[in-house]
């Protein structure tokens, strides 16, 4: 929880130095009437050495990459000297204003409007929401910067209605608000504010504080969600043997009335706009848990393991990142691994996800698509094909090294050699770097399946990893069941070539016993017996007692498979020792 800072005076509180060399900037974010769809910003800069300065809003937001031109929603840009006399302001571009007589400049004021989601690429977490019920802003939508002065430390003051709370992962500085070391950090910490009734959980993992905020239209199973977050945090802490922050914020925005979907990673927080979970059932492997795992892995990739194309950020140029497949695809693969490695889901769930990725099997050139993220946003195949090729790369490395090295080793080495050194990796030479770290040849794989359009050889690589991508024949009971007015379970239909047909069950039969269990009259018990039947396997014995024309008939046989197969991923029963070791290695935390 962060305190509310109500400032009655917000002019003349400039903290910038009186000399022309900036020591610090102060931003004041003011929303006293939340029924208006705009927020006021006062940017106390102090004077500059330059005759004229260029004031910008970013064109794009880190983590989203799509060029949105946030200047589009900025109005009433004014500049003043220390005696509140106006200075000349000239709009020079969609995101740019030029301010004359900058040697006398004291502050810039402007307003930022609520931004509607006008395209799929504009994820809600990259925009702002100025509503009577809450306020959310991703930094680039409200905080402008003066060109050439991004390294100046900043203070942030917030002015919201008196009964609102403010959450931001910036360091809190009482009584003024928050502190950021520089502009990059300021805009990497979104601001959420709303009534003090918004639910908040504080917890620790390994002595590090975490704050989860649930800005939700409905009650959500927050206790369960927090438990799963703890599992994911513990796993990532164990995997990287560190956490790269002093405290961490999860900012959840859950809506039922409007469809919003998106999440965004930051260096010490993550923000979410999602459908709320209705209850705890299925939550451990829900989209929400998977998205949390994805955003948490981003803390390292790309927040710490960063490519040269993203460091330093060029806020006016659409990013051109060669390694977008690594940033989003590899992260997605590790998010799927995180769920199983942290014990939240069984292997079958992971295999089901692999099946989904293999079915998509896009042939898009991921390197070329990544370079277009500024114009098109991050392509969906970056998450699907990107995750699939990351999985296959893991198998390739393990296969070529006799399971002595893995993608885990490469990621951890990149973190040590680049992340810990504060040194970006050259994203045009990433595969070369990965080859060096793993001691294997990956060039051909990269050329064909990542920066090429060859069909990804799913079968071949799955086999090397002890898995089969094959047809499966799921158990096929093949009876339609219903409950009559007297509470009796009866068969209303029997499919051809099904288990029920093979047993001799007929439509109209009343079911009395299944596998030795009497069928009770209450619906809940019937449902629980039916659920057990969902998990039967092909070949398992099955015995049913039915009543037909007043006579009791005992029917028995075995469960048979559906003659119409599905594609599935299963463990290869004929896998050799190496393939089996590779498969088992994938599930182990290194
Ligand atoms: Zn992502």
Tens place of pLDDT per residue across the chain (590 aa): 333 333 333 333 334 444 456 689 999 999 989 899 999 999 999 999 999 999 999 999 999 999 999 999 999 999 999 999 999 999 999 999 999 999 999 999 999 999 988 776 788 999 999 999 999 999 999 999 999 999 999 999 999 999 999 999 999 997 769 999 999 999 999 999 999 999 999 999 999 999 999 999 999 999 999 999 999 999 999 999 999 999 999 999 999 988 888 999 999 999 999 999 988 888 998 999 999 999 999 999 999 999 999 999 999 999 999 999 999 999 999 999 999 999 999 999 999 999 999 998 899 999 999 999 999 999 999 999 999 999 999 999 999 999 999 999 999 999 999 999 999 999 999 999 999 999 999 999 999 999 999 999 999 999 999 999 999 898 999 999 888 887 889 999 999 999 999 999 999 999 999 998 898 877 777 777 777 777 788 999 999 999 999 999 999 999 999 988 899 999 999 999 999 999 999 999 99
Q: How far is the CA of 301 from the centre of ligand 1 (A)?
A: 9
Q: How far is the CA of 215 from the centre of ligand 1 (A)?
A: 22
C-alpha 226/C-alpha 49 separation (Å) is 50
Q: How far is the CA of 143 from the centre of ligand 1 (A)?
A: 23
Q: How far is the CA of 447 from the centre of ligand 1 (A)?
A: 23
Q: How far is the CA of 357 from the centre of ligand 1 (A)?
A: 16
For residues 539 and 433, is the Cβ–Cβ distance under 8 A? no
C-alpha 462/C-alpha 584 separation (Å) is 13
Q: How far is the CA of 291 from the centre of ligand 1 (A)?
A: 8
3-class SS letters over 466-505: CEEEEEECCECCCEEEEECCCCCEEEEEECCCCHHHHHCC
Q: How far is the CA of 329 from the centre of ligand 1 (A)?
A: 8
pLDDT at position 13, please?
A: 38
Q: How far is the CA of 387 from the centre of ligand 1 (A)?
A: 11
Q: How far is the CA of 317 from the centre of ligand 1 (A)?
A: 20
pLDDT at position 487, please?
A: 80
Q: How far is the CA of 116 from the centre of ligand 1 (A)?
A: 22
Inter-helix orientation angle 380-400/331-341, to 10°: 70
Give, in order, the Cα–Cα distances in Å from 367 to each of 212, 301, 303, 309.
35, 17, 20, 13
Q: How far is the CA of 266 from the centre of ligand 1 (A)?
A: 10
Q: How far is the CA of 295 from the centre of ligand 1 (A)?
A: 6
Q: How far is the CA of 326 from the centre of ligand 1 (A)?
A: 10
Q: How far is the CA of 265 from the centre of ligand 1 (A)?
A: 7
pLDDT at position 21, please?
A: 62
Q: How far is the CA of 261 from the centre of ligand 1 (A)?
A: 13
Structure tokens at 554: 């005992």
Cβ contacts of residue 118 below 8 Å, gap of 6+? none
C-alpha 229/C-alpha 363 separation (Å) is 34
Mode of pairing for the β-strands spanning 248-254 and 269-274: parallel
Cβ contacts of residue 395 below 8 Å, gap of 6+? 461, 462, 464, 465, 582, 586
C-alpha 369/C-alpha 66 separation (Å) is 12
Q: How far is the CA of 334 from the centre of ligand 1 (A)?
A: 11
Mode of pairing for the β-strands spanning 154-159 and 25-30: parallel
Q: How far is the CA of 13 from the centre of ligand 1 (A)?
A: 39
C-alpha 268/C-alpha 145 separation (Å) is 22
C-alpha 47/C-alpha 43 separation (Å) is 12
CA angle 327, 328, 333 (to 5 degrees): 105
pLDDT at position 483, please?
A: 85
For residues 565 and 458, is the Cβ–Cβ distance under 8 A? no
Q: How far is the CA of 328 from the centre of ligand 1 (A)?
A: 5
Q: Which residues, by Cβ under 5 Å, contact ligand 1, an ion?
A: 328
DSSP string, 332-359: HHHHHHHHHHTTSS-HHHHHHHHHHHHH
Q: How far is the CA of 377 from the centre of ligand 1 (A)?
A: 12
Q: Could you count the other beta carbons within 10 Å of the beta carbon of residue 75?
A: 9
Burial of 35 (0-12, 13-18, 19+ CB in 10 A): exposed
Q: How far is the CA of 129 from the centre of ligand 1 (A)?
A: 21
Q: How far is the CA of 298 from the centre of ligand 1 (A)?
A: 7
Q: How far is the CA of 315 from the centre of ligand 1 (A)?
A: 19
């Amino acid at each position: 929880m962060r305190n509310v800072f109500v400032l009655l005076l917000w002019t003349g509180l400039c903290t910038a130095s009186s000399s022309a060399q900036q020591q610090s900037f102060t931003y004041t974010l003011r929303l006293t009437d939340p029924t208006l769809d705009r927020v006021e910003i006062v940017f106390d800069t102090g004077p500059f050495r330059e005759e004229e300065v260029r004031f910008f809003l970013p064109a794009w937001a880190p983590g989203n990459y799509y060029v949105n031109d946030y200047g589009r929603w900025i109005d009433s840009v004014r500049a003043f000297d220390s005696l509140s006399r106006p200075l000349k302001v000239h709009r020079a571009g969609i995101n740019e204003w030029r301010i004359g007589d900058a040697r006398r400049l004291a502050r810039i004021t402007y307003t930022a409007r609520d931004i509607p989601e006008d395209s799929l690429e504009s994820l809600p977490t990259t925009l702002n929401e100025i509503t009577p019920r809450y306020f959310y802003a991703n930094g680039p939508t409200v905080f402008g910067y003066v060109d050439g002065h991004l390294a100046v430390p900043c203070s942030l003051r917030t002015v919201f209605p008196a009964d609102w709370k403010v959450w931001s992962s910036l360091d809190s500085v009482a009584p003024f608000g928050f502190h950021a070391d520089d502009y990059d950090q300021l805009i990497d910490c979104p601001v959420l504010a709303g009534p003090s009734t918004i639910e908040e959980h504080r917890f620790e993992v390994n002595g590090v504080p975490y704050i989860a905020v649930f800005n939700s239209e409905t009650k959500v199973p927050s206790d369960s969600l927090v438990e799963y977050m703890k599992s994911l945090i513990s796993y990532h802490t164990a995997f990287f043997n560190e956490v790269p922050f002093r405290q961490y914020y999860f900012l959840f925005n859950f809506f039922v009335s409007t469809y919003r979907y998106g999440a965004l990673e930051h260096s010490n927080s993550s923000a979410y706009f999602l459908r709320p979970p209705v209850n705890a059932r299925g939550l451990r492997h829900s989209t929400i848990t998977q998205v949390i795992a994805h955003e948490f892995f981003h803390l390292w990739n790309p927040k710490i393991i960063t490519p040269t194309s993203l460091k330093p950020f060029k806020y006016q140029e659409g990013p051109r990142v060669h390694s977008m497949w690594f940033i989003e695809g590899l992260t997605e693969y590790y998010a799927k691994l995180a769920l199983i490695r942290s014990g939240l889901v069984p292997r079958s769930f992971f295999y089901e996800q692999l099946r989904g990725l293999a079915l998509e099997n896009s042939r898009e050139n991921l390197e070329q698509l990544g370079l277009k993220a500024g114009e098109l946003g991050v392509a969906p195949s970056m998450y699907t094909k990107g995750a699939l090729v990351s999985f296959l790369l893991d198998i390739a490395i393990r296969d070529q090294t006799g399971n002595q090295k893995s993608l885990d080793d490469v990621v951890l080495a990149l973190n040590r050699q680049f992340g810990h050194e504060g040194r970006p990796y050259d994203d045009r030479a990433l595969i070369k770097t990965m080859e060096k770290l793993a001691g294997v040849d990956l060039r051909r794989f990269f050329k064909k399946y990542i920066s090429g359009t060859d069909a990804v050889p799913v079968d071949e690589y799955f086999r090397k990893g002890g898995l089969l991508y094959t047809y499966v024949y799921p158990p096929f009971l093949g009876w339609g069941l219903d409950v009559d007015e007297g509470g009796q379970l009866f068969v209303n239909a029997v499919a051809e070539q099904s288990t029920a047909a093979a047993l001799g069950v007929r439509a109209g039969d009343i079911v009395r016993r299944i596998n030795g269990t009497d069928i009770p009259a209450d619906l809940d018990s019937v449902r629980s017996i039916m659920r057990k039947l969902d998990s039967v396997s092909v070949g398992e014995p099955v015995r049913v007692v039915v009543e037909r024309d007043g006579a009791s008939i005992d029917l028995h046989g075995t469960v048979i498979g559906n003659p119409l197969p599905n594609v599935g991923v299963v463990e290869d029963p004929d896998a050799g020792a190496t393939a089996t070791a590779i498969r088992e290695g994938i599930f182990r935390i290194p």
